[in-house]
Structure 1
Amino acid sequence: MKLSRLAVVAATAALGLGLVHPAPAGARPVEPDSTQSAGDRSGSTAEHRADHRADHRADHGADHALEPGPALLSPGDQGDEVRDLQARLAQIDWFDAGVTGYYGDVTEAAVRGFQGKRGFPVTGEVDQRTLDRLHQMTTQPTAEELAGTVSTNTPGALDPRCRTGRVLCVDKTSRTLRWVVDGKVLKTVDVRFGATYTPTREGEFHVYFKDADHVSHLYGSSMPYAMFFSGGQAVHYSSDFATVGYNGASHGCVNVRDLAAVRWLYGQVRVGDAVVVYWS
């Protein structure tokens, strides 16, 4: 059927008046499929508030550039600038793996997600456009944030078994360990668990041995401030966890990356204290 001259004129006028809008080009970018992915945090309240503030300060014309700029930071980099990047991404809930200073898969996934939400070229590398917007949306990280000593994981409700006595309460869901005495939480730290082929056991146990300078007889690795609770599995400090975060895993132990915190815990925990490992 041919359109009448009047219909053509009306449609043309509608376009000219801005009453008809073409569909936006491009689709929402998809996060990479990775077991260590930072996840899709496009709905985070912290980010929405930060984005709202940034929208009042940003030069919107720069957002429409389709070409990425030269990479300032990219996978494989490490150092203070990467720590700053990770801490800022954590402030707006794009990064929850802990500040390590190493630009690995988790950091790349977080940057890709951040770029996609902004409508920037999704490269996983930090260019000037990405860095400028991130700085507009965040504050200068504190010394604690840069050191990775601020927990980025949110623990759930205490397991009922953790509410009585002296308990190392280990929540696999939130990846946290809480030191609880008579129902009061005295310390919370981030923890890491065993890989799928060497899982950390769940259940109720007791500390049966402590060794501040332990070295694994099986793997030859250092296990400072080890508190053993189940057949060779222990809560202990892990330099690997402190370096690469959740990009790695233990051989079944409960790894702690905060050296000062695990040293303090070691001084508090006694042989015979309870250890509860569970999914919340």
Structure 2
Amino acid sequence: MGRKRIAGLAALTALAALAAGAAGCTVQPAGAEGERGSPVHIDVPSRTPTAPVSRPPDDADRPSPAAPPSTRQAPRVLWSPGDSGRDIRELQARLRQVAWIFHGPTGTYDELTEQAVRGFQGKRGLPRTGVTDSATWQRLLAMTKEPGRWELYLMGGQPADAPDARCRTGRVLCISKSSRTLRWMIDGRTVSTMPVRFGSEYTPTREGVFSVYWKSRHHVSTLYDSPMPYAMFFSGGQAVHFSADFAARGYGGASHGCVNVRDEEAIARLYEQVRSGDKVVVHW
């Protein structure tokens, strides 16, 4: 090959090398023995990944605002101190069943009832308010039974039965063992009504039609040596009279056959109105 041709090839090779270097590639040289050079590798530099462009989230991307925590509704108040009526009697009767109250039922939400409710609530992990709310009432219902008539009226105050037919004429002390009440009646009209207590099964109060044969304002029993104020005798030693024991214990006790009245003011008024000879009817 002529020198001019060799020089031309060398120049072309140099130009190719410059062009390859400008493109960022490396060219592996041929071996010393004049072997074919290794293939040309193009080393492309890697790009550093860029962080995604931040943008305000669309409405669909925004999380829903957190809902406020649900507030537990306070139990509804049913009864509170000062209330009265049949419902309060049932509350007191049920509290008696679980030994949280020992008086009554009186039908009045008094201080002792408030204390009993507070104690019951505290024992069951309920707020100690002393007020009967729906939560307290449901817990009490689950632990007790429906009180009967006698339980509701242990201290008296129960509605009187309809008057016996023998009570509808004249002046009559109409006494019902079934409702445990005494009606003072004149010519079929009820003047007053009061709760009463009777004798035990061993000393029962006699039933029938009698009349008041003796009145003794400050009487003391000669048989039992116990006071019998406002006594109105109608059958042997049996009389209608005030009983301090009945006023204190209610139907937890019994008389020795007399008809006990627990309201001293009521029997004091009755004593002034009743005359000797007035009729007495004791019935179921």
TM-score range, shorter chain: 0.5 to 0.7
The structure having more radius of gyration, on CA atoms, is 2
Which of 121, 144, 148 aligns to 1:129? It is 121
Q: Which has the higher contact order (CA 8 A, sep 6+)?
A: 1
1:216–1:57: structure 2 CA closer, same or farther, 3 Å change rule?
Answer: closer
Count of equivalent residues: 170
Which of 265, 277, 282 aligns to 1:277? It is 282
Residue 186, structure 1, aligned to residue 191, structure 2: yes
Name 2:65's counterpart in structure 1.
none
Name 1:202's counterpart in structure 2.
207
TM-score (norm 1): 0.54
Conservation of the 8 A alpha-carbon contact between 1:155 and 1:176: yes
Structure 1: distance between partners of 2:182 and 2:193: 6
Q: Letter of the aligned partner of 2:271 in structure 1?
A: Y
Name 1:109's counterpart in structure 2.
97
Deviations 1:89-144 (A, max 9, x none): 854342799xxxxxxxx96327679xxxxxxxxxxx6515177475448xxxxxxx
Name 1:243's counterpart in structure 2.
248
Residue 254, structure 1, aligned to residue 250, structure 2: no
1:223–1:232: structure 2 CA closer, same or farther, 3 Å change rule?
Answer: same
Output aligned runs, 1:214-229, within 5 Å.
214-229=219-234
In structure 1, runs of 5+ residues without a counterpart are 1-53, 59-83, 98-105, 114-124, 138-147
- When the two chains are superposed, the root-mean-square deviation of aligned CA atoms in Å is 3.3
Output aligned runs, 1:87-98, within 5 Å.
91-94=87-90
Conservation of the 8 A alpha-carbon contact between 2:157 and 2:194: no
1:178–1:184: structure 2 CA closer, same or farther, 3 Å change rule?
Answer: same
Which of 60, 76, 83 aligns to 1:56? It is 76
Normalized per residue, the structure richer in helix is 1
Structure 2: distance between partners of 1:96 and 1:178: 26
Shift in Å, 1:57 = 3.9
Shift in Å, 1:156 = 1.4
Residue 264, structure 1, aligned to residue 269, structure 2: yes
Conservation of the 8 A alpha-carbon contact between 1:96 and 1:152: no
Conservation of the 8 A alpha-carbon contact between 2:242 and 2:263: yes
1:163–1:153: structure 2 CA closer, same or farther, 3 Å change rule?
Answer: same
Name 2:139's counterpart in structure 1.
none
Output aligned runs, 1:136-147, within 5 Å.
136=133
